[in-house]
Chain A
Amino acid sequence: MNSFLTAFFAGTSQGAIYALVSLGLVLVWRGAGVVNFAQMGQAMFTTYIASQLIQNEYSYWSAFVIALISGALLGALVDLGIMRPLSSRKNSQLLNSQSMRTTVPVIASLGILGVLKALAGIFWAGEERGFPAPVPTTGLRLGNSDLAITGFDLFVIGVVFLALVLTTIFFTRTGMGLAMRASALNPEVTRLSGIRVGSVRTLSWAISGTASSLAGLLVTPKTNLSPNTLDLLLIIGFTAAVVGGLTSLAGSVLGGFILGYVIAFVNVYSAPENVFLAILIFLLLALFLRPQGILGSKEVRRV
């Protein structure tokens, strides 16, 4: 029973982080038609910024906020500097083939990932370093018995819950959120109704950057920080996004939690070295059994 609880709580708090990553991927996919493989590279970079600030004796929370803001800026920069010029080029004769139009942004995002990793290595020497948590990472105690959950796990779950609530309010209650949903459904009609589709697109890159930056800040107290630590998170987030349906925001969050439980239970009941294999098998199963994802709609899937 105790190992079950351990796996359950670990799955919930890790799943919350995967949900953020997967949400970030889906936001950009819906908003710009790009799966951003550089996403966790951006997060790695902003986490290094936070780490540097903390080393320079800034408080955890100011570093936290600055990392989130730089995540948004970096996301917007990627769109404005690279992805937007690329998409205007896509209409040129240079890339007149159908399949290359989806392939080229993927390649560009891999280039960004490579550059960010190398830059992080140059700036911060690249060796693994720890990243602090604002609350203790040891197990909580209730009276005399140890609980299977740590204070930090609760913190992660709380922060992600807050982020998800804010995202939901943004998408359902604000004009900008509605504009984003509209332009994801039909960019042409949205443009005709007077919404600046370009800015909406950049905004979705910025929100995605913030979400993944938050994921980076929440995962590194456990995994430590190096230019490569967050690669695994991208793989998991991608799988979660596909499981949830690449087009559904709610699906992506659900997919994140499902992946969290799958990985936690494989870790506890099997062995950690099985995790990669489990992810691959899970992804292939999802693609074969329900390619449109749990909450994705069949028509919208651009495959």
Chain B
Amino acid sequence: MSKVKTHKVIGFRSTRLAIIFFVFILLLSMKFGPYNQFQLANIATLLIAVLSITLLTGASGQISLGQGAIMAVGGYSAALLVTRLEISMWLAFVLAIFVSALFGLFLGLAAARLSGPYLAGTTLVMALAIPSIAIRFDSFFSGDIGFSVDYGYPPDWLTNLLGEITIEEWSLYVALPFAALSLFAVLNLSNTRSGRTWRAVRDNEVAASLAGINIARTKIIVFVCSSALAGLAGAIYGFRGLVAPSVYPTDLSLLLLTAAVIGGLRSIGGAIFGTFVIVFLPDVIERVTKFLELPETISIYLPALMIGLLLLLTVILNPRGSAGALEHIRHRHKH
């Protein structure tokens, strides 16, 4: 039997990891030009969404193909609050978390009865249907055009502190604290009693219910937490410039799932790795195709092909993802 580890509610390890992530990205951004700084901001934003999948699938075994739709819920609620009620962006982000958590509650109520492929299919239908709501009720959600929203200007105290701040830097400074906080929250959550409860439900529902765990309630709570994260990510993602149906396509949901799977569904370090892969892989491929002078038809579809192949290979060779592979190697060294 493995040793039983005990953790304090606010772990030292999770604080450390979140800070390391924050500083690492910040240092990296200083080395980078504007384009890659923007990509780093994308990583920070999408990491929050990938964490929402790691939380949902890795911790509880439920699968959602509709995280992009929940991101849309967060994005639209923040955009509506900012444009209609003219509240500050930060407050809108916080409120977007609450709205999407509420949405997650409803989703969880439905999802608690579903599992496996039923849930996957239902969330996939949702991923298609939610953006179409924006088009259906276009007087309220302004249809295909969507809302033009942005991060605004950095506050004076920050420019006084750091000097001139470019748009790319500012978008990173907006996204990064949220990403570090989400990382901290997810790391802590998985070490608490709830985290262990979720894993028990994931591994064996019957055994978990015999141990006195309320399965339905647990699943709903997981959905609420996961949706809150996805909604936050959606709000930050939309405020890069536009909140519209085209910003949250079905492919986004699948891309996020790919990131979580490549890294390893049960590993938070894996989520970070997977997010880096999905954001930077297209750039790397573009350089290679330019270097090899491949025709355009290939270069357009090559990123999608590589990401699909990566997903497939991960699942076939090592379903635990790259984090699982590392763990495997470490284990072999120990014995």
Residues of A with Cβ closer than 8 Å to B?
29, 34-35, 37, 82, 85-86, 89, 94-100, 102-104, 106-108, 110-115, 117-119, 121-122, 125-126, 231-232, 235, 238-239, 242, 246, 273-274, 276-277, 279-280, 283-284, 287-288, 291, 302-303
B309 touches A111 (CB 8 A): yes
CB–CB B125/A279 < 8 A? yes
Asked if residues B121 and A115 are in contact (CB atoms below 8 Å), the reply is no
**1/0 per residue B244-276: CB within 8 Å of A?**
000000100010011001000100000000000
Q: Which residues of B lie under 8 Å from residue A118 when comparing CB positions?
A: 301-302, 304-305, 308
Quick check: A85 and B128 within 8 Å, CB to CB? no
CA distance A103 to B57 in the complex (A): 9
Interface of B toward A, CB cutoff 8 Å: 57, 60-63, 65, 110, 113-118, 120-122, 124-126, 128-129, 132-133, 135-136, 201-205, 250, 254, 257-258, 261, 265, 297-298, 300-302, 304-305, 307-309, 311-312, 315-316, 318-320, 324
Shortest Cβ distance from residue A79 to the other chain B in the assembled complex, whole angstroms? 13
Chain B, interface SS category: helix
The 30 listed contacts between A and B (C-beta, < 8 Å) are A35-B116, A35-B120, A35-B121, A37-B120, A82-B316, A94-B318, A94-B319, A98-B204, A99-B61, A99-B202, A103-B116, A103-B120, A104-B315, A106-B116, A110-B65, A111-B309, A114-B254, A114-B308, A118-B301, A118-B304, A122-B297, A231-B128, A235-B124, A238-B125, A246-B117, A273-B136, A279-B125, A287-B118, A288-B113, A303-B116
- Decide if A86 touches B116 in the complex (CB within 8 Å): no
B204 touches A97 (CB 8 A): yes
Which residue on A lies nearest to B307, using beta carbons?
Answer: A114
A104 to B124, CA, bound (A): 16
What's the nearest-Cβ distance from chain A to residue B316, in Å? 6
Give chain B nearest CB distance to A14 CB in angstroms: 17
Q: How far is the CA of A104 from the CA of B122 in the complex (A)?
A: 17
A165 CB, nearest partner CB in chain B, Å: 28
List of A residues within 8 angstroms of B311 by Cβ: 107-108, 110-111, 114
> Does the CB pair A108–B312 fall under 8 Å?
yes
Task: Give the shortest distance, in Å, between A262 (CB) and chain B (any CB).
Answer: 13
CA distance A31 to B128 in the complex (A): 28
The one of A119, A121, A277 in contact with B136, judged by C-beta atoms closer than 8 angstroms, is A277
Instruction: Find out whether the CB atom of A277 lies under 8 angstroms from the CB atom of B301.
Output: no
Q: Which 9 A-B pairs have the closest CB atoms?
A: A99-B61, A114-B308, A102-B116, A35-B117, A111-B312, A118-B305, A111-B311, A121-B301, A280-B129
Contacts of A119 in B (CB 8 A): 301, 305
Q: With A98-B61, A126-B297 as given contacts, are A112 and B312 in contact (CB-CB < 8 Å)?
A: yes
Shortest distance between the CB of B220 and any CB in chain A (Å) = 15
A102 to B117 CA separation, bound complex (whole angstroms)? 7
Query: Interface majority SS on A: helix, strand, loop or mixed?
Result: helix
Q: Is the CB of B297 within 8 A of A121?
A: yes
Contact A37 to B124, CB < 8 A, known contacts A114-B307, A117-B304: yes
B284 nearest CB across to chain A (Å) = 16
Residue of B nearest to A99 (CB): B61
A288 touches which of B60, B110, B304, B307 (Cβ 8 Å): B110
Contacts of B202 in A (CB 8 A): 97-100
Give, as a whole number of angstroms, the nearest-CB distance from A108 to chain B.
Answer: 5
Q: Please give the distance in Å from B53's CB to the nearest CB on chain A.
A: 11
- Assess whether B316 is in contact with A85, with CB atoms less than 8 Å apart: yes
Chain A residues closer than 8 Å to B320, beta-carbon distance: 94
The smallest C-beta distance from B66 to any residue of chain A, in angstroms, reads: 10
Of chain B, the residue at the smallest CB distance from A232 is: B128
Min CB–CB distance B90 → chain A (angstroms): 32
A121:B114 contact, CB within 8 angstroms = no
Instruction: Tell me which of B57, B315, B320 has the highest count of chain A C-beta atoms within 10 A of its own C-beta.
Output: B315
Task: Evaluate whether A276 and B116 lie within 8 angstroms (CB atoms) in the complex, with A103-B63, A107-B315, A108-B316 already known.
Answer: no
A274, B316: Cβ atoms under 8 Å? no
Q: Is the CB of A303 within 8 A of B118?
A: yes
Given A108, A125, A276, which contacts B128 in the complex, CB threshold below 8 Å?
Answer: A276
Known: A239-B121, A283-B122. 5 other contacts (CB 8 A): A99-B61, A106-B120, A112-B308, A114-B308, A291-B113
Closest to B57 in A: A103
Contacts of B122 in A (CB 8 A): 283-284, 287
Q: Which residue in A100, A126, A242, A273 is a CB contact (below 8 Å) of B319?
A: A100
**How many Å from the CB of A97 to the closest CB on chain B?**
4
B319 proximity list for chain A (CB < 8 A): 89, 94-95, 100, 104
In the complex, how many angstroms separate the beta carbon of B113 from the nearest chain A beta carbon? Answer: 7
Contact of A97 with B61 at beta-carbon distance under 8 Å, contacts A107-B311, A122-B297, A122-B298 already known: yes
State whether A303 touches B115 (Cβ < 8 A). yes
A125 to B324, CA, bound (A): 37
Most A CB contacts (10 A, CB to CB) among B62, B63, B308 go to B308
A102 to B114, CA, bound (A): 12
Also in contact, A106 and B110, with CB within 8 A (given A114-B308, A283-B122): no
Contact yes or no, A276 B315, CB < 8 A: no
**Knowing A114-B254, A114-B311, A242-B118 touch, does A280 contact B61 (C-beta < 8 A)?**
no
Q: How far is the CB of B279 from chain A (nearest CB, A)?
A: 17
